[in-house]
Amino acid sequence: MMQIHAIHTEDQVRLHVAFFPPADKNRPVVLCTHGVANAFYNTPLWEVAQAIHRLGWGVALFNNRGHDWVSANPIDARWIGAAHERIEDCALDFKAGLDWLNAQGYRNLVIGGHSLGGLKANYALRTLPSGSFKGLAMFSSPRLPDEQVWDWKRHEDILDRCRALSQAGDGRTLMEVEMPTNTPAMRGLMCADTYINKYGPTAVTTVLRDAAGIAVPVFLLAGTKEHPQLAFSADMEKALVNAVSVTRAVIDGADHLYTDKSDQVASAFSDWLEKLFAGDPG
């Protein structure tokens, strides 16, 4: 039976996790999170998590502090959400989930996420203590920023506007942003500092730059109807030169939301988990 639990980060952000426990504590658990402005209950991984659980795996699907566009931290009322987040802080969110699972006795763990959540999982894996996770799963993660499909002039104009606001002391002021891309969202709500942090030239979301730092087995998945993510997964596969292994799954007919394809996504992921924990990651 699925359970809802509260977890707390080291910097006192209260988050929630939907936990689908495995049959026994020796079975693996996937610690995973949603994409930009989603939450555990409205991410495409919600349906996938239930399907994975039916196949016998444990899943801890949690809210990172970038859930919803704007939210207030219940502990101290500071603004959080996708509009205010700093990507580097996702490591604290994953650590809170990791610590909670370890406290329950779970040690065979995989870290993962959908869309931006996959990029966060990638960053957190490289930041948290070595050996915390047996593998990394990136579901439909995008190239950020994406010089291949973005309107680059518009992106640079937005960056210039954000830098001016930040330098004037208004970096935390919210603004509506017409994104320079049509995936995964055309319109965003965020402060200038967050746009720079997520999409600027030194953003940690540009995970291709640091792909050589990943040593664990990696699972990459994208659908044939999400062309930017599909192209990124192919480039990521090539860049993971130090990973024990890389498995790239392509789901025929799947879009970014996995419409009518959740079972196929879960099946492909379950196959990888079977090999991973049988000692043959593929």
Q: What whole-number distance in Å separates Cα of residue 57 and Cα of residue 77? A: 35
Residues 203-235 have pLDDT tens digits of 999 999 999 999 999 999 999 999 999 999 999
Sketch the domain layout of the chain as residue ranges: 3-144+204-277, 146-202
- CATH architecture for the domain at 3-144+204-277: 3-Layer(aba) Sandwich (3.40)
| Whether residue 51 has pLDDT greater than 80 | yes
Q: What are phi and psi of 216, to 5 degrees?
A: -80, 165
Query: Radius of gyration (Cα) for the chain, nearest Å?
Result: 18
Q: Which residues contact 178 (CB under 8 A, 6 or more apart)?
A: 154, 186, 187
CA 6 to chain centre: 19
Entry pTM: 0.96
Q: What are phi and psi of 35, to 5 degrees?
A: -95, -165
Q: pLDDT: is 279 or 129 the higher one?
A: 129
Mean pLDDT of 249-271: 98
Pairing assessment for the beta strands 135-139 and 109-114 based on DSSP bridges: parallel
Tokens in use for 197?
A: 């942090």
Mean pLDDT of 120-135: 97
Pairing assessment for the beta strands 29-33 and 3-8 based on DSSP bridges: unpaired
Tokens in use for 126?
A: 């490289």
DSSP 244: S
Strand partners, 79: 72
Residues 56-87 have pLDDT tens digits of 999 999 999 999 999 999 999 999 999 999 99
Instruction: Share the mean pLDDT of the chain.
Output: 95
